[in-house]
Amino acid sequence: MSFPAFNICKEILIDMHELSLAQNIIEMMNDAVPAEKQHRVKTIHLEAGAFSGVVPDSLAFALDCILPDSGFPKARAFIHEIPFTVYCKTCKRKRINNSGISICEECGSSEIEILSGTELILKAIELGDE
């Protein structure tokens, strides 16, 4: 009885979901900002949907932990929470739906389209002056 086996992520010391997201965010910032400007990054704007599976406070904490040792030591993250919004094809209206269910809370129809609330997006970065 033998089978191949892999060991992944030996370098991850804190076993936290949001930490791996924070590492992704820093990688994306490295792609977006040239090295000589990185120290000027002041603010990171993120959007997290109410049902994205991300806990904003944990993500902010994870970023606070790793930003000081990254190329962006002065950066602070702002996580904008995006409500779960659906469009009901029966009522022909857009609504915020706080329970996260895919049924129109007004008319009970399940003919709905999810417009927002499941996303996690790196929106923009603000750079201060030299």
Partner 1 sequence: MSIVTIERKVLEKNDEIAKRNREEFQKRKIFVLNLVSSPGSGKTSILEKTLEYFQGTIPIAIIEGDVQTNLDAQRIAKYNVPVVQVVTNGLCHLEAKFISEAFDSLTTDTIKLLIIENVGNLVCPSGYDLGEHHKVVVLSVTEGDDKPLKYPAMFRNASVLLINKVDLLPYLSTDIEEIKKNALSINPKLILFEISCTANAGIEQWGEWLKTKIEFK
Please report, as ranges, the residues that interact with partner 1 according to CB under 8 A. Answer: 1-10, 12, 15-17, 20-21, 24-25, 27-29, 32-33, 42, 46, 51-54, 99-103, 110, 118-129
Footprint on this chain of Zn ion (rule: CB under 5 A): 88, 90-91, 104, 106-107, 109
Nearest to 80 by CA among 102, 60, 108: 60
Q: Which does 88 bind (CB under 5 to 8 A by kind): Zn ion, partner 1, none?
A: Zn ion
List of residues 6+ apart from 115 with CB closer than 8 A: 85, 86, 87, 94
Least gap, CB of 96 to partner 1 (angstroms)? 15
What is the Cα–Cα distance from 6 to 29, expressed in whole angstroms?
30
33: left (phi over 0), alpha (psi -120 to 50) or beta: beta
Strands 41-49 and 76-82: parallel
Find out whether 86 and 115 touch, Cβ atoms under 8 Å. yes
Q: Pick the closer one to partner 1 by CB: 51 or 87.
A: 51
Q: Pick the closer one to partner 1 by CB: 91 or 122.
A: 122
Q: Which does 26 bind (CB under 5 to 8 A by kind): partner 1, Zn ion, none?
A: none
Least gap, CB of 43 to Zn ion (angstroms)? 38
Least gap, CB of 107 to Zn ion (angstroms)? 3
